[in-house]
Amino acid sequence: MKFDMHVHTRYSARCGYMTPKKLSEIAIDNGLDGLAITDHNTIEGALELVDLVKDEQISLAVIVGEEITTDRGEVLAYFIKSAITAGPFEEVMGEIKLAGGVSAIPHPFDRIRGGFKGLEEVIRDIDAIEVLNSRCIFNRDALDFCVSHKKKMLGGSDAHFYSEVGRAWTEFTEGTRKCLLEEQAQVGGGLSNPVYLALTKGLKMWRKANSN
């Protein structure tokens, strides 16, 4: 099963754009079997897509996830049932474990958008590393680190716009928590057009200006 493990919807308050309904259609058109919705500090988009898929009997698996802000950098949480509050890394990790979730570090060595501080110090607490992010040109560093520390690897588009969905992916035998933890999944795909980073930055600036 092919999953895009890093996707944002309009519920990512500062930078989200995509609606869950249209997103599901694009994902299927692009040959994906599933999506992990990882909005910033919320799971509302993921829960809306879960309900949509169930109500309309859409053939798409959905993993409820979240991209959580911490003092070290961002952390991805998968298979959670309620939102985890942004805060100190140790507290966030404790909440993920308490919820029975799976943790991963996205774009850990991204020197343009900001990576993750002190990954070596906390790697034992992390379940997986995102080694292919379509918005990041520092993926090789992430892959080398992941392999050297024998962690599970993930790939995801980090899509904020429809044209990015499925640009990178992770392949599992099935879309379950057990597979993510126990399989050494295959990742594939490539980079998105850098213009999408500029569009996201512009969207953030527009929303900030219009919130005042």
Summarised one tens digit per residue, pLDDT across range 55-101 is 999 999 999 999 999 999 999 999 999 999 999 999 999 999 999 99
**Is a pLDDT exceeding 90 seen at residue 6?**
yes
Instruction: Tell me the domains of the chain and their CATH numbers.
Output: 2-211 (3.20.20.140)
Please give the radius of gyration of the chain, using alpha carbons only, rounded to the nearest integer. 16
Q: What is the pTM of this model?
A: 0.96
Give the pLDDT band (50/70/90) at residue 31: very high
Element (H, E) at 27: helix 20-29
Contact indicator for 107, 136 with CB cutoff of 8 Å: yes
Q: How far apart are CA 196 and CA 28, in angstroms?
A: 21
